[in-house]
Amino acid sequence: MKLNELSIKQAVEGLKSKKFSSVDLLKACLGQIKAKDKSLNAFITVTEKEALGQAKRSDNLISQKADLPLLGIPISLKDLYLTKGIKTTAASNVLKDYIPQYDATVVSKLKNAGAVLIGKVNCDAWAHGSSGENSDFGPTKNPWNEEYVPGGSSSGSAVSVAANMCIAATGTDTGGSIRHPASFCNVVGLKPTYGRVSRYGIVAMASSLDSIGHFTKTVEDSAIFLNVTAGKDQMDSTTPDTKVDNYLEDLNRGVKDLRIGIPKEYFMEGLDPRIKERIEKAIKLYEKNGAKIVDISLPHSKYAIACYYIIQPSEVSSNLARYDGIRYGNTRPHFGDEAKRRIMLGTFTLSAGYYDAYYKKAMKVRTLIMQDFDKAFAKVDVILTPVSPTLPWKIEEKVNDPLGMYLSDIFTVTANLAGIPGLAIPAGFINGLPIGFQILGPRFSEKTLFRVGNFFERNYKSGL
């Protein structure tokens, strides 16, 4: 196995045992970027010079027997994360030359954990998209077949991990923007509970929906990563004082007597039958190993897309109002088509005479969706559903069909509306293209999600 193909755990163990250095590990990742990124377009900025300096410092700390969870590990950052002295663009021409004066809280935590930050990766501009095609710096391509989309909006993050250009990556998930590309790129993606990870210093898309997560090669790596990033932040009032678990504790407990809910609304017409068949085999694997499979209903899920695409554009229009070209960034004509579409939708929804008819009603539906999940979690420990109703589609196939693009998030937006965590797990390939499923849990149940996901990862066969 090449160095850049290692997991976080494998890389940390190799560095500690002096099998290779952090500089060696970084150079393997940089070499992969140089070999692959011209065609995949995952990176907007590669911070080679800064990363080499961090890697050398890591090797020095390792020689002093420092014990940091991500010491020497190359990680890429979605280009919504503010990085002091390093360009942060949100993949938009509005911010194409913007250099922040401070680090996002998560960036500071990663640095303090010893991570080597290898660069800023591409995404749908302002995180507006499900495919990775809406970046002002060109679309990111799926590493398994470059004719297809990698999912969005955290497209570059997923691709940088799947193509072994880094060991792990950060992302954001507002309506599926981590779980979707994780599923399409055959990597593990975590959307934590809303507020579990600080949003401070991350370009906002929709503030009541944004969750700050990450992409890794294994479930165990995802737990290692969340151990670093989770917790209260005085700079973000939405981060609660709720105790942060040790997410590695229950990884190998198995699934005996765990209650797994299967919502009928997620397995109806519109779901590709090949994906349905694959997920049903995963359900049988859990059942065979002692899990209790429980049929449940989430009746208000059918309103989720309509509800989401009222609330989210409303918050987008508010958040993007600050980009007026006066204090920093370029002027508003530099916004792309999708940003303009969402600004107009949100402004209309919030305007006089329409607020009660649309936004207020959507917030009431959001409450009903939350209540659906609360009732379900009184009966089950976790819920298992598809991530996407379809396989990855070809680049430009839906670019002129925004409604069709929005509907690709039909299974993921509910978790954001309810504020619950979701873990996307790879489930193999169909016709050479990756698919996955997601495990949803009650708020702050990430430890249980890792337990369920780790069991599947360790026990499923590629021919599932």
Provide the annotated active-site residues: 78, 153, 177
Number of Cα atoms under 13 Å in the Cβ half of residue 441: 23
State the Cα–Cα distance between residues 285 and 441, nearest whole angstrom.
19
Distance separating alpha carbons of residues 249 and 131, to the nearest angstrom: 35
Give the residue carrying structure tokens 């779901």. Answer: 271
> Exposure pattern of 155-165 as b/e (b: 16+ CB <10 Å)?
bbbbbbbbbbb
For 73, residues 6+ apart whose C-beta sits below 8 A from its C-beta are 8, 11, 12, 25, 114, 115, 116, 167, 168
On whether the CB atoms of residues 423 and 251 are closer than 8 A, the answer is: no
Q: Which residue has the tokens 């045992």?
A: 17
- Phi, psi for 350 (deg, rounded to 5): -90, -5
> Could you tell me if 238 and 194 are in contact, meaning their C-beta atoms sit under 8 angstroms apart?
yes
Retrieve residue 340's tokens. 């303009």
Residue 375 backbone zone (phi > 0: left; psi -120 to 50: alpha; other: beta): alpha
Angle between helices 446-459 and 219-229 in degrees, nearest 10: 160
The kind and range of the H/E element at 107 are helix 105-112
Q: In what order do the strands lie in the sheet with 74-78?
A: 43-46, 116-121, 74-78, 168-173, 211-216, 188-191, 422-430, 433-440, 382-386, 259-263, 292-296
Q: Which amino acid is at 68?
A: L
Bridge partners, residue 45, by sequence: 120
Using the CB atoms, write b or e for 306-318: b if 16+ within 10 Å: ebbbbbbbbbbbb
Residues in the chain: 464
